Structure 1
């Protein structure tokens, strides 16, 4: 451990053989790798075993609940939470180990670089950042059905470290995800009193497109950035259209 806090890397999986090898290889320096699987039928479990991960299985309980269950299986206090299609570059790994020598916060945000169909997003576009390194005794997953996040009880730092996210490799996959996530988000939207639904269906997709394409700088990624922005706008439309449909069906 070289004088640092021991680290558990936590990953949830389901048929992720295409990306899991790169994910686990990038964190092979960690003190423990925990994989919580939900019924993989491909080589996912064999890859996890190859890297010496502790493998557990349970039926998929939803994104947030599944990740929390995986975090609860960790042996160590400090956790690095990764998706199975993410990996840590060597410079980021070195920085994480330095931080763990003397953590100053209860959690840390890391930047995430997105693969957009056939290229990485432009280096001059804006990266999203998420809490991924944290003291699990002072953190829990949010209860959102999608876009779940780590909620930290304490201060949060930001590390100059990048997670590479491969995500959906093609347009069909990203469109299918937008359709799936917009359906799942109905449960979260149902907790709020969302008004002006017809106006939101008309206006919000354009706002979402401009925010993603122009303000976040994905126009710098060429046609890949344009297509990603259009799918993002389609997702914004779908979630409100489906909520409108549900309300009409309930009323009729």
Structure 2
């Protein structure tokens, strides 16, 4: 018999995608939705699917997800974003993986919706630990690009999540701006000299990796635009870090800030 499973989702004004997300996991033993103050139909959609709903102010991406995981009834958790959905046959695959599992967690593949189309089937998929034993796993402490850290062996499931993400260019640019600001805290230990070099080189390297190595050139203009924004994000996070180091240095030089 398979282990019981809790599906965990964090939400904020997620009505546009939450219906598809929860409909895709209605077979789960337990659905938890942790909301951070939605004003749209998010809570009504969660109630429609019988989810256990809790609310708390947004504590940051990692901390919010960890708080939601802690609300799960069962040891095994499937962690989803509110703009993700699992395919129709995924339930059977996941149930089979949870029959006497020896792994502490499983990687799951994810395909991306890029503005007006799915990424090419021949481009590289991302993969993340999303199914895990919560007694042997915790969220990382990153401000953004948080991940599940597992203490034990990690397997790979033949499951591909659908990630709807940002539906337009403006949304992706806005996300790059928000995430680059948050990443300043994660990158804060780097020296200013290294930051200047990264401002010069990282955007080009990021474009090369995303567009060519990951194969998004196969997605036509959608892939090209996404690669350009990805490169801009790679530049922007170090530009903001450089700005922060200059601001800190200027503050230390102000009168009254001299060391005793």
Q: TM-score range by the shorter chain?
A: over 0.9
Which residue in the other structure is 2:98 paired with? 100
Q: Of residues 114, 124, 127 in structure 2, which corresponds to 1:126?
A: 124
> CA shift at 1:134, angstroms?
0.2
Which residue in the other structure is 1:152 paired with? 150
The range that moved more, 20-29 or 95-104, is 95-104
Query: Does the 8 Å CA contact 2:192/2:245 hold for their aligned counterparts?
Result: no
> CA shift at 1:192, angstroms?
4.4
> CA shift at 1:203, angstroms?
1.2
Looking at structure 2, the residues matched to 212 and 107 of structure 1 have their Cα atoms a distance apart, in angstroms, of 27
Which residue in the other structure is 2:232 paired with? 234
Secondary structure of 1:45's counterpart equals helix
Which residue in the other structure is 1:161 paired with? 159
1:237-252 matched pairs, under 5 angstroms: 237-252=235-250
167 and 199 in structure 1: CA distance in 2 versus 1, 3 angstrom threshold: same
Which is higher, the Rg of structure 1 or of structure 2? 2
Q: What TM-score do the two structures reach when normalised by structure 2? A: 0.94
Which residue in the other structure is 1:208 paired with? 206
Q: What TM-score do the two structures reach when normalised by structure 1? A: 0.97
CA RMSD of aligned residues (A): 0.9
> CA shift at 1:198, angstroms?
1.7
Unaligned residue ranges in structure 1 (runs of 5+) = none
The number of residue pairs the alignment matches comes to 250
1:166-205 matched pairs, under 5 angstroms: 166-193=164-191, 195-205=193-203
Q: Does 1:44 align with 2:42?
A: yes
